[in-house]
Chains A and B, each alone.
Chain A
Amino acid sequence: DAGVIQSPRHEVTEMGQEVTLRCKPISGHDYLFWYRQTMMRGLELLIYFNNNVPIDDSGMPEDRFSAKMPNASFSTLKIQPSEPRDSAVYFCASSIGGDHEQFFGPGTRLTVL
């Protein structure tokens, strides 16, 4: 099994640009989570989906952030426009039935200049 796949692994962009992060969950997993990790704030849940439906997006910091899951094998997290304070590592994770074990991807390291 390839595990959770995220792309790109690294992204450097300038303030104001649109950023799209991608995630492919493990096949058969019905929960998908987007997290953001920084030194200051730790690992924060942004949004999670169950069977492609957003369940809780209360962690999305502001309207500049949006997430979609058009099908069971693909999700995107978009930031438009990006700001320097969005610089962080963004993780996607998936699980079966909301189990205690979430499988994390390798993360996307985002730097906004």
Chain B
Amino acid sequence: QKEVEQDPGPLSVPEGAIVSLNCTYSNSAFQYFMWYRQYSRKGPELLMYTYSSGNKEDGRFTAQVDKSSKYISLFIRDSQPSDSATYLCASRVNYGQNFVFGPGTRLSVLP
């Protein structure tokens, strides 16, 4: 079992839809949770991160972590075609330690 799991998709939604992307993890020591976005033929870039359980909002994006169920979510409101990308969740135990990435979910937002 991989430490971080994601449904690879692809996930296709119409423009304006609310998108829910999810990850599960197995290592209860993980404390930091990141979402990276990767456009086709580009390197990943950080979208947002959270520490421990709770929600964090940044514009149209909300990251949610439930440590009791080891579940990580990213919600995208009013999705746009420019949101079409692969979304990778990542986790780490402590600041300064290496990440473990999920395999990524490919999202297509159709105009």
Residues of A within 8 A of B (CB): 4, 33, 41-45, 48, 56, 91, 93, 97-107
| Complex: A45 Cα to B91 Cα, angstroms | 13
The chain A residue sitting closest to B104, CB to CB, is A42
Q: Would A107 and B43 count as touching, CB distance under 8 A?
A: yes
Residue of B43, B49, B101 touching A105 (CB-CB under 8 A): B43
Count, A-B residue pairs, CB within 8 A: 50
Q: Is the CB of A104 within 8 A of B43?
A: yes
Name the residue of chain B whose CB is nearest to the CB of A48: B98
Contact of A100 among B49, B100, B103 (CB under 8 A): B49
B59 touches A (CB below 8 Å):
no
Q: Which of B34, B96, B98 contacts A45 (CB 8 A)?
A: B98
Interface of B is mostly: loop
Q: Is the pair A93, B98 in contact by a Cβ cutoff of 8 Å?
A: no
**Shortest distance from the beta carbon of A2 to any chain B beta carbon, whole Å:** 14
Closest residue of B by beta carbon distance from A6: B43
Report the interface size class on chain B: 20 to 34
B60 contact set on A, CB distance < 8 A? none
Residues from chain B with a CB closer than 8 A to the CB of A56 are 98
In the bound complex, residues from chain A placing their C-beta under 8 Å from that of B44 are 43, 91, 102, 104
- Which parts of B7-57 form the interface with A (CB within 8 Å)? 32, 34, 41-46, 49
How far apart sit A106 and B41, CA to CA, in the bound complex (Å)? 7
Q: Which residues of A contact B75 (CB under 8 A)?
A: none
Tell me which residues across on chain A come within 8 A of B104, comparing CB atoms. Answer: 42-43
Give A45's nearest chain B residue, CB to CB. B98
